[in-house]
Amino acid sequence: MKKLFSVLMALSLLLGVFACATAEDKTYRVGILQLIQHPALDQATQGFKDALTAKLGDRVSFDEGNASGDSNNCAQIASRLVSAQVDLIMANATPAMLACATATADIPVLATSITNYESAMEIELTPEGATGINVSGTSDLAPLDGQAAMIKELFPEAKTVGLIYCNAEPNSIFQIKTIEGYLTEL
């Protein structure tokens, strides 16, 4: 499902970004910044590339960078993509998206594998759900109310629930606070 949303969002954004091009033979250079090699992230990146290739054929080329899980590498790769003046950047995972948002205010950034843009970027979305900047994308937020209900169903007598999360990841903190509220209600 996440892959499908990534593909649909990529195609929608591309139609808008590339609609102003008049030449049929224009080749688009798309930068890709992925935080780390991981099956889920790899599939999202591949789905994005497959969708663009299906739409544009050989009129799209990709400049890919994998940060090997290092935020400093994300910043370096994002700067390289901006210097290369790519037409669009696909950022896969929160640190990759943040590095791209910092590196450019001009090149459109399409992000995926982001749970909550507001908490990740410390911004408030517009009423339409837009970031108000050059960053857009898909969310991988699972239904946290459903997860809380499942915990209650599986462990109806539980008085304390322990949840593991990463306190260095804004989206992880967002999820913990949100599910904590649902569990308290239950």
44-97: pLDDT as tens digits: 999 999 999 999 999 999 999 999 999 899 999 999 999 999 999 999 999 999
* pLDDT of res. 18: 53
The reported pTM is 0.75
Q: Is residue 7 pLDDT above 50, yes or no? A: no
**Residue corresponding to tokens 């169903």:** 153
* pLDDT of res. 17: 53
Report the mean per-residue pLDDT for the chain. Answer: 85
Candidate from 4-18, 23-37, 141-155 with smallest mean pLDDT: 4-18
Q: What are phi and psi of 126, to 5 degrees?
A: -70, 165
* pLDDT of res. 109: 96
Higher pLDDT, 138 or 29: 29
**Residue corresponding to tokens 């969002």:** 9
Higher pLDDT, 53 or 24: 53
The residues, ordered by sequence, that sit 6+ positions from 28 with a Cβ below 8 Å of its Cβ are 18, 52, 56, 59, 60, 61, 87, 88
Q: Is residue 155 pLDDT above 80, yes or no? A: yes
> Tell me, what DSSP letter sits at residue 26?
P
Superfamily grouping for domain 2-139: Response regulator (3.40.50.2300)
Total residues belonging to the chain: 186
* pLDDT of res. 120: 75
Strand partners, 112: 92
The alpha carbon dihedral of 73, 104, 133, 92 has a sign of: negative
- pLDDT (mean) for 121-130: 73
**Which two three-digit tokens encode residue 142?**
């699972």
* pLDDT of res. 169: 77
Band (pLDDT 50/70/90 cuts) for residue 5 is: very low
Highest mean pLDDT among 16-25, 51-60, 112-121: 51-60
**Residue corresponding to tokens 């205010």:** 105
